[in-house]
């Protein structure tokens, strides 16, 4: 037996490990997906056996990281412009190799306040109320929801009067944190944030009419340098599937593709 093992062990050593663990799929995700994506990633793992982990930041920040070589496999942006920028630079492509991102969802902007706020219930009139001292928005230069918030204030003719009272956050998740923590009286946040368990329990919201800002159409691309292209394509297919698109709608994201 000892002679058998001594002969067999060198063969095992040359063969390497019997099982090699696949690295998790790395997803660069817009901050509005933070309340939404973890459950979907768990379901993807259960369905395919492929594990995935997400980094949540402003879409502009994630774009810069990818341009600088960050090892992401998939980019889920809060708009179409940033992934298109990566495609133009030769760094990304659509799920079928096309030169355009795929739309996976459409975002909704809401005005949110805490339930214990002395301010009136959130409506557009609240934005005109002089008692509103601090309004949180995401950075218009870095976050698509911030760009949408700026468009709302400009279209209502309120930007100049509210400009000194704006509290600008890095991304939409931080915007929600500012108003939830009391560092702002109200916030223009994503519906995904407003429907998260924490904010749903502590606050109330008003849906901003969608004719006040450009559509927040959210786009996805595959990163060309990804070593896990097959797994990345499977994930995008999963994200665009009818059950997951319906689930996104429950979380506050309108479907990006038609649902039967």
Residue with tokens 């301010």: 119
pLDDT in tens, 20-50: 357 899 999 999 999 999 999 999 999 999 9
Record the pTM: 0.87
pLDDT at position 8 is: 38
pLDDT in tens, 2-16: 443 344 334 333 433
Is the pLDDT reported for residue 171 higher than 80? yes
Mean pLDDT along residues 189-194 = 97
pLDDT at position 210 is: 94
pLDDT at position 22 is: 77
Scanning the chain, the segments in alpha helix (DSSP H) are: 2-15, 37-48, 59-67, 81-88, 144-155, 159-162, 172-180, 191-194, 197-202, 229-239, 242-251
Domains of the chain with bracketed CATH: 22-106+217-255 (3.40.190.10), 109-207 (3.40.190.10)
- Cα gap 108→128, rounded to integer Å: 21
pLDDT at position 96 is: 86
């Amino acid at each position: 037996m000892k002679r058998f093992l001594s002969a067999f062990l060198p063969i095992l050593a040359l063969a390497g490990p019997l099982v090699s663990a696949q690295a998790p799929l790395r997803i660069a995700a817009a901050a509005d997906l933070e309340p939404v994506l973890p459950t979907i990633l768990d379901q993807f793992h259960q369905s395919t056996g492929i594990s995935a982990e997400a980094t949540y930041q402003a879409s502009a920040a994630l774009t810069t990281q990818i341009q600088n070589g960050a090892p992401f496999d998939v980019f889920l942006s809060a708009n179409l412009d940033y992934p298109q920028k990566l495609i133009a630079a030769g760094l990304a492509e659509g799920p079928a190799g096309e030169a355009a991102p795929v739309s996976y969802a459409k975002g909704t902007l809401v005005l949110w306040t805490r339930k214990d706020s002395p301010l009136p219930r959130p409506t557009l009139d609240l934005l005109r109320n002089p008692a509103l001292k601090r309004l949180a928005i995401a950075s218009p230069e870095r976050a698509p929801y911030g760009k949408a918030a700026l468009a709302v204030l400009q279209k209502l003719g309120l930007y100049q009067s509210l400009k000194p009272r704006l509290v600008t956050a890095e991304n939409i998740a931080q915007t929600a944190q500012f108003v939830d923590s009391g560092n702002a009286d109200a916030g223009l946040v994503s519906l995904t944030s407003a429907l998260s368990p924490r904010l749903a329990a502590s606050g109330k919201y008003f849906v901003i009419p969608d004719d006040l800002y450009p559509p927040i159409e959210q786009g996805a691309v595959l990163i060309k340098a990804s070593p896990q292209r097959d797994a990345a394509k499977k994930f995008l297919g999963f994200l665009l599937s009818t059950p997951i698109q319906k689930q996104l709608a429950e979380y506050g994201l309108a479907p990006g593709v038609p649902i039967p």
